[in-house]
Amino acid sequence: MKVMLHACCGPCLLEPYDALAATHDVRVVYANPNIHPRAEYERRRDVLLDYAAGRGIVVEEAPYDPAAWDAAVAGLEADPGRRCRACFRLRLGVAAGRAAAVGCEALATTLTVSPYQDPVAIREAGEEACAGAGVTFLLTDFRDRYGDATRRSRELGMYRQNYCGCRYSDDEAASTRERRRLERAGRREGAAGGTTI
Ligand code: SF4
């Protein structure tokens, strides 16, 4: 079957591509207007393209349209659950459109390799996007390959980002790292017999 694989970045492409290419004719689309800022978008894209070129993988890039992404998540910025669903719908909608345009019968996404993404939201967004484009959404769950994807991307020296992609996730990830830093510091202080109240 001819499958279009939506890819969010190079590290996440590794395992899903190999899994799908074992049984399908796979091409890749980089459709990620969520990524902020543009320099980060380009950095992730170039890592993906470098790897794909070395493997002879066909990749096309959808137009980078951050204004369309802003419109898709308008009003949902502070609600990550709903914001991410809208984000998935937009990106998979673009990818499904490209799949249909080049004669692919199905769409899959590398998003399902990440244990940090909501698989139900991805499935619902994918099915909705594909129904609109007249292609099948290929249901995948690559989370058991996340460890291998991490290992391989490190071995390849790939850039590995520390936030999902949008400006809100950059702030959220920074807050999470700071909270964990404070928790670790608190535990160290407690282990050293620090102050209790
Ligand atoms: S956190 Fe990730 S999936 Fe959610 S809206 Fe931001 S870029 Fe999209």
87 pocket-lining for ligand 1 (C-beta < 6 Å) = yes
84 pocket-lining for ligand 1 (C-beta < 6 Å) = yes
- Model's pTM, two decimal places? 0.93
d(CA 55, CA 197): 60
Q: What is the DSSP string of 133-192?
A: HT-EE-----GGGHHHHHHHHHHTT----SS-SSHHHHHHHHHHHHHHHHHHHHHHHHHT
CATH topology of domain 2-166: Rossmann fold (3.40.50)
List pLDDT tens digits, range 21-60.
999 999 999 999 999 999 999 999 999 999 999 999 999 9
Q: Are 2 and 106 in contact (CB under 8 A)?
A: yes
Confidence bin at 191 (pLDDT 50/70/90): confident
Q: Ligand 1, from 44, 64, 83: best to mutate by most atoms within 8 Å of Cβ?
A: 83
Ranges of each domain in the chain = 2-166
List pLDDT tens digits, range 123-149.
999 999 999 999 999 999 999 999 999
Q: Alpha-carbon Rg of the chain, whole angstroms?
A: 18
Whose C-alpha lies nearest to ligand 1, atom 5?
84
